[in-house]
Amino acid sequence: MVFTMIDDKISTWKIIEEELSRPTLFKSRESLTPEYVPDTLPHRENEIKALVSAFKHLITSPGSISQRVLIIGGVGTGKTVTARVFGRDFTRIARLRGYNIRYVHVNCHRNRTLYNVVADIAKQLEIPLPPRGLSVKEMYDAILGYLEDHDLYAIITLDEFHYFASIAGSDAVYFIVRTYDDIETSIKRLNFIFISLDTSKLSLLDSSTESYLLRHMIKLKPYTSKELYDILKYRASQAFYEGVVDDEVLRFIAEYEGSDRGGGGNARHAIEILLLAGDIADSEGSTKINLEHVRKAIMRTSREIINVSESILYSPLHELILLWAIIRLLRRTGKPYVKMGEVEKEYEVLCEVLGEEPRRHTQIYEYVMNLKKAGVIDARTSGKGLRGRTTLISIHYGPLDLFEKHVEDLVYRKLGVVRR
């Protein structure tokens, strides 16, 4: 029994040792995690400038006003990281100029009550509070007093503010937003950034408080495919060793998620796909991330493959044969897209194998448009870089080998062929 236990232990150690010594594609995996705050923030330069303009008074005339800025935008538009990058760099530059400004970032989804929000502000500012239980008002007064005594100024970001507003209520929001309404002081040391999905989430507030929040608003739009490519290019250079990921792979992810290509414009999701594709490539012992790794990552991060399976279940036979031809071409070429003419030739080859009369070009084009509308494929007209104009066809999810087998089975089922 003892020897078995030792053998098991040695075996486990061997597994761990082998795994730890196995080479990896990542040089900095954390560069692709949600918590990471990058040195550079592509395509949010104007928003950073707007924040600098709003809080410039902290250097030109400290304490003259208590600024409140509202940042709104959908999921993955960079609201949190924009605020964090601004807060980090603005306070660094202010410190070099001799101004002591602190930045505090409070997650209101985690800190759902006014008490927890105020307590977290005090904790991040490293303000020593008495061990006895204090009320919210006493804690807040302690914060204001500490800032005054130490000649400090603070920018407080309340992230997911809409969540706090709906849970804590309008009185709690009023307490924060209207900090200096009932305080007689010529020097205002607290300033705020509120981050919300959209303004409709704040409609439950009273009109005067809402108007306070809407006076200085910065709206972040979803990212386009070009913008996402730039973001992914930068993050990939930090996360992976040189040569691990090609531009083709980055563009594939960017076009899948880009708002101009029908995606959500969600940078967080695009970066998550790149991270997962890297993990998949790593686990398979690959030296590079390829398109199939990305397709597998997309499948794992969405329910798209399930929806697609349902969409094609009742597709006509030749639409399925055409889809089969697209998948075969994409697998064989390893390219992110294939041309319409290439697809037609592959479709004709499959029809010959199956003993089916191929449909004409007009009908084939209609099948392509039907598959596109159903979200099964992506089809677009070629732009610059290709001679002539043609339809480029792609599939973003996968893995393609399993998808091909699924479509192949559907085709033979339509033909009434029993396969063993």
Burial class (CB in 10 A: 0-12, 13-18, 19+), 326: buried
pLDDT digits 0-9 by tens, 298-321: 888 775 666 677 778 888 999 999
Tell me how crowded residue 54 is: count the other CB atoms within 10 A of its CB. 18
Distance CA 68, CA 139 (A): 21
Domain boundaries 305-414, corresponding CATH code: 1.10.10.10
Tell me how crowded residue 31 is: count the other CB atoms within 10 A of its CB. 18
Helical H segments across 134-204, by residue range: 136-149, 161-168, 170-177
Say what the pLDDT of residue 303 is.
Answer: 58
Domain limits, the chain = 45-220, 224-302, 305-414
92's enclosing H/E stretch is helix 79-96
Which regions of the chain are under pLDDT 70?
A: 1-10, 19, 131, 201, 203-204, 206, 303-307, 383-388, 418-420
CATH 3.40.50.300 applies to domain 45-220? yes
Helical H segments across 182-339, by residue range: 207-214, 225-239, 247-257, 267-283, 291-301, 304-312, 317-333
Say what the pLDDT of residue 420 is.
Answer: 54
Say if CB 38 and CB 226 are below 8 A apart: no
The 8-class DSSP code of residue 358 comes to P
Distance CA 135, CA 133 (A): 7
- Strand, coil or helix: what is 70? strand
> Which two three-digit tokens encode residue 349?
């080859």
From residue 68, alpha-carbon distances to 115, 160, 279, 368 in Å are: 20, 15, 41, 51
Say what the pLDDT of residue 10 is.
Answer: 60
Domain boundaries 224-302, corresponding CATH code: 1.10.8.60
132's enclosing H/E stretch is none
pLDDT digits 0-9 by tens, 67-84: 999 999 999 999 999 999
Q: Which of 338, 328, 313, 326 is closest to 411 using CA atoms?
A: 313
> Which two three-digit tokens encode residue 51?
């924040």
Amino acid at 208: S
Say what the pLDDT of residue 209 is.
Answer: 72
Backbone angles phi, psi at 199, to 5 degrees: -70, -25
